[in-house]
Homo-oligomer: A and B are copies of this chain.
Amino acid sequence: MNDAVRLIDVKEAIQADNERVAEDLRARLAETRTFLLNLMSAPGAGKTRTILKTLEVLRDRLRFGVLEADIESTVDAERVAATGISAVQLRTGGFCHLDASMVAKGLAALDLEALDVVIIENVGNLVCPAEFDTGAIKNVMILSVPEGDDKPLKYPLMFTVSDVLLVNKVDYLGLSDFDLAAMRERVVRLNPDIQIFEISAKTGQGIDQWAAWLEGEARRFIDA
């Protein structure tokens, strides 16, 4: 077990540094009154499409920016930028998550004074992003129906650190043996305070309720 122990020590040191950078970042966001939201999920759960639908509903009510993180490629930032919203692509170059200093570099490319909300689309991964504080004010995760209702059992930390769970692709429920009640019970056991919204970023179902939550939290932060 020596190898494993050494790796854990390194990780803890990195995480302690990261926590300090994240706290500094939150202090700066309080000054510019910019609500930073960290959106996480497995690959292909629908993060980009959910962001685009959310922007459709709220873009006339709040000023948005988006940080897109990917190992490679700039396709997601291009999709967001095509709507006229400020988008920055962060290429992690192999890293499986964003940390607070990567986010700070991304935010430096945006005019925070002119933005009410910045959404971070984290790397598609249910493991590593849950371990690193990005400096965000709130953490949101997506679980898509085709991934299965057992994910809270397998990736408990992600469900524990998230303030909101978006259950996406509910339009697939008819084709699937996904048990919504069992999934909810598993999630609430890990995190009794989590807010759960059922959505379809494809059809738009449930997006208004989720967007209302986001607008409420953002306004509360901005007006504080």
Residue of B nearest to A43 (CB): B42
* Interface segment out of the listed A23-31, A93-101, A204-212: A93-101
Given contacts A42-B124, A73-B153, A75-B154, contact A94 B147 (CB under 8 A): no
* Interface segment out of the listed A59-67, A108-116, A168-176: A168-176
- Interface residue A57 (Cβ < 8 Å from any Cβ of B): no
Contact A127 B123 (CB under 8 A): yes
Of the four ranges (under 10, 10 to 19, 20 to 34, 35 or more), the interface on chain A belongs to: 35 or more
Q: How many copies does the complex hold?
A: 2
User: With A and B bound together, what is the CA distance between A156 and B73 in angstroms?
Assistant: 9
**With a CB–CB cut-off of 8 A, which chain B residues contact A102?**
4
User: With A and B bound together, what is the CA distance between A75 and B182 in angstroms?
Assistant: 15
**With a CB–CB cut-off of 8 A, which chain B residues contact A224?**
none
Contact A154 B42 (CB under 8 A): no
Contact B131 A94 (CB under 8 A): yes
- Interface residue A126 (Cβ < 8 Å from any Cβ of B): yes
User: With A and B bound together, what is the CA distance between A73 and B152 in angstroms?
Assistant: 10
User: With A and B bound together, what is the CA distance between A75 and B151 in angstroms?
Assistant: 11
Min CB gap A145→B, angstroms:
8
- Interface residue A14 (Cβ < 8 Å from any Cβ of B): yes
Contact B126 A128 (CB under 8 A): no
User: With A and B bound together, what is the CA distance between A96 and B124 in angstroms?
Assistant: 13
Contact A3 B99 (CB under 8 A): yes
Residue of B nearest to A45 (CB): B147
Contact A96 B125 (CB under 8 A): yes
Residues of A within 8 A of B (CB): 3-4, 6-7, 10, 14, 17-18, 42-45, 70-73, 75, 94-96, 99, 101-102, 123-128, 131, 144, 146-148, 150-151, 153-157, 169, 171-172, 175
Q: Given known contacts A42-B43, A94-B157, A144-B146, what 11 new A-B pairs fall within 8 Å (CB)?
A: A7-B14, A43-B151, A44-B144, A44-B148, A71-B154, A72-B153, A72-B154, A75-B153, A125-B125, A128-B128, A146-B146
